[in-house]
Amino acid sequence: MTNPFGKKGQMTEAQQGFTFSRRLFFLGATQIGIGTLLAGRMAWLAIADNEKYALLAESNRVNLQILPPRRGWIVDRKGKPIALNKTAFRVDLIPDRLIDKDGVIGQLSAIMQLAPDDVARIQADLKTAAGFQPVPVAENIDWETFAAVSLRTPDMPGVAPSEYFTRFYPAGASVAHLIGYVGAASAKDYEASRDPLLITPGFKIGKAGLEKTQESLLRGSPGAKRTEVTARGKLVRDLATRPDMPGKPVRLTVDAGLQDFAGRRLGLESGSAVVLDCATGGILALASMPAFDPNSFSDGIGRLEWKMLQEDDHIPMLNKAMQGLYPPGSTVKPAAALALLHHGVDPEEVVVCNGGYRLGNRTFRCLSRHGPMTMRSAIMKSCNTYFYAMGRRIGYDRIAPIARELGLGQEFALPMPSQRYGTVPDSAWKACKYDKAWSQSDTLNATIGQGYVQASPLQLAVLAARIASGKHLDPFLIQGEQKPIRPLTIPPEHLAIVREGMDLVVNGEGTAVASRLPLPGIRMAGKTGTAQVRKISGAQRGQTGAWKYKDHGLFVFFAPADAPKYAGAVVIEHGMGGARAAAPVAKSLMTYMFNPEQAMAELTALESNWGGDVNSRMARKAAAWKSADARKSRADETAQGSVDDSEIRQSSEPDPQTMTPVNPEAIATPEPETASTPPHSGAVQHPASPPVAPSTAPRSGDPS
């Protein structure tokens, strides 16, 4: 047997005592040792790591509530606000202070008339919310409701009515595409920066336009409300509050008055207007209509309103001034004329117009028989034959560089989310893109701004401004961002000849004589353009048929003709002619710049025919949509509802062919059966279904 105790020994009492003393000493040493270890550990925590733990204790104790900063204003060239902050009222629930949850929600829904959907959302939010992170009940409520709630807060613990700031655009829709709008940050935005400010209730960031591109300037930095809280989130007391740092203002080159005027003046049309300052290139106005109301975006847009914007065939969400591309038509004839002069064509050389130009066995038509034409009269009368003949003589490869020098095909350094820059074709471009040789007919088409040529309204405005000033102007939007200006490579004497031709367009016997400025001593010069949407077929020529096949109306202009201060471009989609649709708008804009009262009086008269200004028209349209939607859902249940799209189009828009003012009653109170159907669908959007000729369509709302 093995002995587990090793050597067999007997312990005497003395040995036992000795062993005990030794082991007792060992235990005593252990006590001292462990005591030292504990003291060392504690010193490590309390001295070496003190800073870290003090911070952790502080972050336990203090709850930071972010106060969203006030957004910087956007102001016009004179400091007039275009986008500002408005005090608004909201009601939140503080979960931790709620005692009687259901009772309070019941009382609130009675006072504020909350919809069942809202109540359900609040209940759901409350379930996931903790501590005193506020749960929003309603935002942007009116003062009466706010007052009613505030009055009863002592009886409703947990309800927190408060003031906050919401973005406000006094001009509404007319600045929509220029300024953009704000909205709550998306989950993607938050993931990119992890900034807790982004998920603070009520905080908005720029979502489009200048609001988006100038975000870093406009945002400011948030304040903080510090409160002491217990582990369970119970509020102990309020600590010092750090105020917010408001965002910086952004000053634009825009003239707020002109911008609003331009938006309103475009009226019921789908189009855009751009006005530039000829001295600097600063953008005075950049309007695109129809548009949306940026105010309704800043409060969170409703589902129905969004649907309405999406389904409109006039595309209110598109900034047509920068993203719309059109064949510029005859508006580029001045550019062609400059190229002709550059390549030695005598401006007095005569081309006889017999109503067309023959190339091989094909005839390129002119608008009429103009007879003998020189360069100036060809611009004045917009004679295609002259430009066909002369363009063919020098070839489009010699015209294209001048078109580019004047801004076509160019992308400008503007603080806007996107712009399209179109096409200035030449033989190399065509070879590259289509692998085909440039033909003579390509030259003829391009010379009169058809075929492959495409330009945006902004580019056309730059073209007008460069011809008017003789300077290579670059458009800019924000004060102080002007680039150095160099003169054009084009000789001033050539520009003078073209400017004379453009003066005659309005003030001679040209195509836009109806749009002379009603101001003594101030003349506007310009050039009309009518761009075909589809190929000329027979006699129709884009003057009849469905709206979407009608010709675009364009006009480039500058004023005063002898010493240009302003230049610009107006494009009316499917306006059927530059002289008819676009030039009158340009006339109004220039009248406004020199005599605002007179221009306003004219606009007011027009608007009374259109059924009110743009914001009230849009509000009414939205209301009609809402009731139509409600009725539609009811109609769907009973499987009824006759649809006649052409009727609706007639009631909500003027007759584009005649520009006869539609009785405002027709828009204000559409007949029930027409209002019960969505306005834009079916025949209007799909070319396959036969369009009803507008002239024969019944005017549903016309009482006569």
DSSP code, position 198: G
Q: Which is nearer to another protein, 27 or 187 (CB)?
A: 27
Shortest distance in whole angstroms from residue 682 CB to another protein: 58
CB 56 → another protein: shortest distance, Å? 5
The CA R_g of the chain, rounded to the nearest whole Å, is 36
| Minimum gap (Å) between residue 27 Cβ and another protein | 6
The residue count of the chain comes to 704
First to last CA, the chain: 129
Contacts to another protein by CB under 8 A: 4-6, 8-13, 15-16, 19-21, 23-24, 27-28, 31-32, 34-35, 38-39, 41-43, 45-47, 49-50, 52-54, 56-58, 60-61, 228-232, 236
Q: Tell me whether residue 27 or residue 432 sits nearer to another protein (CB atom).
A: 27
- In 194-240, where does DSSP find H-type helix? 209-213, 215-219
* Cis, peptide link before residue 560, omega less than 30° from 0: yes
Rounded to whole angstroms, the Cα distance separating 306 from 483 reads 39
> What's the rounded Cα separation, in Å, for the pair 248 and 563?
37
| C-alpha to C-alpha distances, 653 to 617, 662, 688, 704, nearest whole angstrom | 11, 8, 22, 17
Question: Which of residues 229 and 402 has its CB atom nearest to another protein in the complex?
Answer: 229
Query: Distance between CA 287 and CA 271 in Å, rounded?
Result: 8
**Please, what is the minimum distance in Å from the beta carbon of residue 96 to another protein?**
14
Which residue type sits at 11?
A: M
Q: Kindly state the smallest distance separating residue 417's Cβ from another protein, in Å.
A: 42
| Closer Cβ to another protein, 232 or 303, answer by number | 232
- Residue 52 or 433: which CB sits closer to another protein? 52
What DSSP element (H or E) covers 141? strand 135-141
Nearest residue (CB) to another protein, 58 versus 163: 58
Give SS3 for 274.
strand
What is the 3-state composition of the chain as percent helix, strand, coil, each rounded to the nearest 5?
A: 45, 15, 40
Taking the least distance from each CB to another protein, the nearer of 37 and 124 is: 37
Q: Omega into 4 within 30° of 0, i.e. cis? A: no
Cβ closest to another protein, residue 47 vs residue 539:
47
Smaller CB separation from another protein, 53 or 143: 53
Which amino acid would we find at residue 627? Answer: S
| Among candidate residues 464, 468, 461, the one with its CA nearest the CA of residue 562 | 468
Secondary structure of residue 76 in the 3-state scheme: coil
CB 41 to another protein: min, Å? 5
- CB under 8 A, 24+ apart: contacts of 341-347: 341/375, 341/491, 341/494, 341/497, 341/498, 342/398, 342/402, 342/490, 342/494, 343/394, 343/398, 345/375, 345/390, 345/393, 345/394, 347/374, 347/375, 347/376, 347/497
| Buried/exposed code over 375-408 (b: 16+ C-beta within 10 A; e: otherwise) | bbbbbbbbbbbbbbbbbbebbbbbbbebbebbbb
Helix 492-507 and helix 457-469, axial crossing angle in degrees, nearest 10: 120
CB of 19 to another protein, least distance (A): 4
Question: What whole-number distance in Å separates Cα of residue 184 and Cα of residue 250?
Answer: 21
Q: Which helix (H) or strand (E) holds 606?
A: helix 596-610
Burial of 644 from C-beta contacts in 10 A (0-12 / 13-18 / 19+): middle
Pick the closer one to another protein by CB: 50 or 310. 50
Name the packing angle between helices 303-311 and 614-638 (round to 10°).
100
Would you say 13 or 597 has its CB closer to another protein? 13
How far from chain centre, in Å, is Cα 483? 24
Amino acid found at 442: D
Q: How far is the CB of 48 from another protein (least distance, A)?
A: 9
- What is the closest distance, in whole angstroms, from the C-beta atom of residue 25 to another protein in the complex? 9
Question: DSSP state, 332?
Answer: G
Residue 199 CB, nearest approach to another protein (Å) = 20
- Name the catalytic one among 174, 288, 330, 382: 330
Say which DSSP state 358 is in: E
- Shortest spacing between CB 300 and another protein, in angstroms: 33
Tokens of 242: 């750090």
> Can 330 be counted among the known catalytic residues?
yes
Q: Which lies closer to another protein via its Cβ, residue 56 or residue 563?
A: 56
| Catalytic residue set | 330
